[in-house]
Structure formats: C-alpha cells, structure tokens
Chains A and B, each alone.
Chain A
Amino acid sequence: MDGETEYVFDCPACGESLEVNGSMRDALLEKGCVVCGSSLTPEAFTKTTSTEST
C-alpha cells in the first residue's frame, strides 16, 4: 500500500482551508484554487501526516 501524505491547504487569496491528500494537492497546484480559481504555489500546503508503506 502506498503511503498517504495529508496536507492542509490554505488559499492565500480567498482564505479557503481544506484537508487534502497528495493527489488533491497535485490537482490544486495544476488547476488553481477550486473555490476562487487563483493560481497556487507549494507554499499553500502544509504537510500534516505521512504514513509509510508496510
């Protein structure tokens, strides 16, 4: 099983805050904030947990 890293996403433009996994983080970085559409950088994400594969 792949390890799953969780992040907290904080949009610097609209203030939206969401808990997201790695694939959501990738999609948000590529497409922008789902709520306001602003472009995002990795600084908008804070890693919270990382579970290693077993």
Chain B
Amino acid sequence: MSLGPQTELSREETDAFLGERETGVLSLALDNEPYAVPVSYGYDAGARKFYLRLVSTPESEKRRFLASTPQARLVVYEEEGDVYRSVVVVGRLEEIARDELTVEHVEQYGEAKRPLFEIWGQAKRDLDIKLYQLVPEQVTGRRIAVDRGDDAPKS
C-alpha cells in the first residue's frame, strides 16, 4: 500500500464533508488524562458551529471531563474507496442552558442524529442529557489517496 499526495480540503469542501457526515470522535482531557468518545453532531456551516447532545450518568467518566468548559477536539473521518478524508476541529465545548434555547437550536438539534440512548440501558428520564455547542478555533481538513495496488495478491 502506498500513499498518494495529501491535499488540504478547501473551506467549501470541509463544510460539505462535515455536513454529509453525522458522527465523529470527541476528545477531551483533564490534566494529563485523555478521554475520547464517539458522538453524533449537527453542523451549521453558516455559523461554523457543531451541536452535540452528550449523555452521562452521575457515575460516568464523561461527566468528570465535562465539568468545566473544556477545550475539545472533534475528529470526523471517512474512508471511501481509495480516498481517505478527515477533518480535525479544535475548539471550546460550551453548554447551552435550557433557558437559552432558541428556534435555531431546535432546528440544528433536529438535524443531529439521535444518540443511541439504548446503549445506556436506562430510561431516558434517568439520563442526564446536556446540550453543547462546539465553537471551532481551528478546522483542518485533509484528503489523501491510498493506492492499495501493492497489497493485491498476485496470481
């Protein structure tokens, strides 16, 4: 397998990619302790903001990392055929208070894929569901072509 030249995605390509995808990996840190979790998101390309629902329980590890307004990274990636695309977002995760919710928030969360509450094994009423927006400070998108020809079995 060999890698082709890596190219940076344009702003338009990055926005289109983030709009097509709906899941990624959110990474947080507390001192020297890392934490990463798969999340679903809604993306507003105009405002360049991400909208996330994060679910936790009183005992959950996630709650510890979300206790303050943390710096976060969101990685969204896709491998399609021989093309690998990824976007790394660095920004601050801000909780949206319930009394600050607007029609725009409702519309953006309506576009976000529903979290898989079922994996928690508890009724929704027993879960702590908080709404966050990720405001990017830096967004980097890349595309790379992967040539798998070298790995093909020879007959």
Contacts and interface: CB of A to CB of B under 8 A. Distances in A.
Interface stretch (B14-22, B63-71, B80-88, B97-105): B97-105
Given A24-B103, A27-B110, 9 more contacts: A14-B129, A24-B102, A24-B106, A28-B106, A31-B106, A31-B110, A36-B117, A36-B129, A37-B114
A20 to B, nearest CB: 8
Question: Nearest 7 A-B pairs (CB), nearest first?
Answer: A31-B110, A37-B114, A27-B106, A14-B124, A15-B125, A27-B103, A34-B109
Question: Which of A14, A16, A34 gathers the greatest number of chain B CB atoms within 10 Å?
Answer: A34
Given A23-B103, A27-B106, A37 B112 contact: yes
Contacts of A1: none
Interface size range on B against A: 20 to 34
Given A30-B110, A34-B106, A36-B129, A15 B124 contact: yes
Interface size range on A against B: 10 to 19
Interface string B115-133: 1010000001101010100
Nearest to A20: B101
Nearest to B51: A34
Question: Which of A23, A28, A31 gathers the greatest number of chain B CB atoms within 10 Å?
Answer: A31
B143 interface: no
Contacts of A36: 53, 114, 117, 124, 129
Contacts of B125: 14-15
